[in-house]
Structure 1
Amino acid sequence: MTLEALGAAREVNIILPPDYAKEPDRRWPVVYQLDGAVTQDLMMGAGLMRWGALWGRSRDAIIVGIETKDRQRELLPATGDPAERAKYPTAGESAAFRAWLAGTVKPLIEARYRHDGTAFLVGESAAGHFVVETWAEAPGLFTGYAAISPSMQWDFEALSRRALGEGKRPPLYLSLADEGGSTETGMERLLGVLPKDQPFCFSDRRKQLRHATSLHGLLPEALQYLIPTEADWLEEYGMVLRCERRGGEG
């Protein structure tokens, strides 16, 4: 389907589980994938999700791919960094994009498709920053969150300096690849301020993955954390959560 947000028409792509039509009484989790156009990450994400379900690594889900048109505008808040403002002059409307997801996209999906009441937000890089920001500002919007290599350097690492307060929030998957610099220090600070009862899974892949390969390499693990199965053979095949964890699984 095509919807309009922030003055631009964009794809909202729905991929249903293979058994959706065969099991009319069954309900499914919903995974919202940012940068989810056909020409973006949708097909890769759908393939990895299908592969995980085939192996029993993660549950099958309804996939909702959300196209982005101007990623910095839609996925990032305003910045006080002059260099970032000069490079990305349109950035800063993540709150409006989040309001569109909450007020238009989610109600539409929930009205049209057989969901089980759970919804998960997944994003990488700038979309990962959007995921963490949403988890921080509107935690109840989704059941769980996965931020793969999030752009924690944005606005002098401001997201990692935000006061989160106490209280348990939904499970949060985080990862770091070879980004280094302020992306790394921002992530380290965020990990240090997570509430003590916060369930999270931090996958440290600084020595194994590049920024460009982090989504490909880690989406299966993120889904295993957020929508796990009861499969007892995963360790035998190397499908384990290689991450620092707290508070249980998703």
Structure 2
Amino acid sequence: MIALRRLLLALGLVLAIGQPTAALAQSHPVATPIVIGQSYALPSAIMGGMREINVWLPPGYDGRTTRYPVLYVLDGGQAQDFHHISGLAQLGTVNGTTRDVIVIGIASVDRRNELALPTDIAELVARYPTQGHSDQFRRFVAEEVMPFVDGHFRTDGETALMGESLAGLFVVETFLKEPQMFDAYVAVSPSLWWDGGRLAQQAGAHLRDHSNAPRTLILTMGDEGEEAQALMAILTGHLQDHVLPGVTWEFQPRPAESHATIYHGAALDAFRQLYAVPAA
């Protein structure tokens, strides 16, 4: 009897010790990564090194043979704008308000080197000695990034380019100088002040060389001050003066937004416009 009591006591002690262990295990569930896309290190002969390219694919992509339009996002690094712009694509897919689209984030490393056209303004040259190689970055996008995307994913040939601030300046410059690169352009609060506003002032000369191929340009700007507003007025004035029936463009002022707050809402509106679900 004594031996049986000792056995039961020992068994109870083991159970008592085991219960906290089980409770502790339940309070520390195993974490698993949340994967929203894929990141690629793309070797670039043009840029002279590996470049970060991030890809978001619509849900169900792997189970279909469908081809998709592509939105290229500048400043598209994981620590830049890739997540919140791809989130808009995911939202539109889930609630059925926009068409499925592939989002490609092109990370920038030295923004004034890659996104700004060259300037000879001494103050800017001194502050940003590596500035002014947007033409090189445009070649990288056209000759290396876009062929990589078309070669690895089911694209349908419809393309758009989106960027904010200096990336918005790059969007405007690409639209003016290489309009055939993309079907649509979205420039959010573009830094038209760069180089003393020369790009806006010379827009008319570039527009005279445009074909009448169908393209879309969406411009928007927050409360950026008088200089920025004046330069946007110059740019839109040139667009009004050079009527191209194939080109659809609009300027949407957003005076309630600042440079820091404008991008997400403006990008959502651009999604709804560019990728509207066709009426039944």
Question: What residue is the counterpart of 1:159 in the other structure?
Answer: 199
Question: What residue is the counterpart of 2:33 in the other structure?
Answer: none
User: 1:57·1:231 contact (CA, 8 Å) conserved in 2?
Assistant: no
Q: Deviations over 1:44-78 (max 9, x none)?
A: 11112211333333222111110100001000111
Structure number with the higher helix fraction is 2
Which one scores higher on RCO, CA 8 angstroms, separation ≥ 6?
A: 1
User: 2:58·2:93 contact (CA, 8 Å) conserved in 1?
Assistant: no
Q: Deviations over 1:213-236 (max 9, x none)?
A: 11112101112222222359xxxx
Percent sequence identity is 38
Q: Deviations over 1:13-39 (max 9, x none)?
A: 11111121121x211000101111111
Paired with 1:113 and 1:106, the residues of 2 have a C-alpha distance of: 11
Q: How does 1:103-142 map to 2 (within 5 A)?
A: 103-142=143-182
DSSP-derived class of the 2:137 partner: helix
Question: What residue is the counterpart of 1:199 in the other structure?
Answer: 248
Q: Deviations over 1:138-194 (max 9, x none)?
A: 111111110011001111111112211164351001001011132221111110001
Paired with 1:60 and 1:204, the residues of 2 have a C-alpha distance of: 27
Question: What residue is the counterpart of 1:14 in the other structure?
Answer: 55
1:2 aligns with 2:2: no
The count of aligned residue pairs is 230
User: 2:187·2:218 contact (CA, 8 Å) conserved in 1?
Assistant: yes
DSSP-derived class of the 1:97 partner: helix
Please, which runs of 5 or more residues in structure 2 have no aligned partner? 1-39
Q: How does 1:138-153 map to 2 (within 5 A)?
A: 138-153=178-193
TM-score with structure 2 length normalisation?
A: 0.78
Please, which runs of 5 or more residues in structure 1 have no aligned partner? 233-250
1:168 aligns with 2:212: yes
User: 1:160·1:187 contact (CA, 8 Å) conserved in 2?
Assistant: yes
Counterpart selection for 1:36 from 61, 76, 80? 76
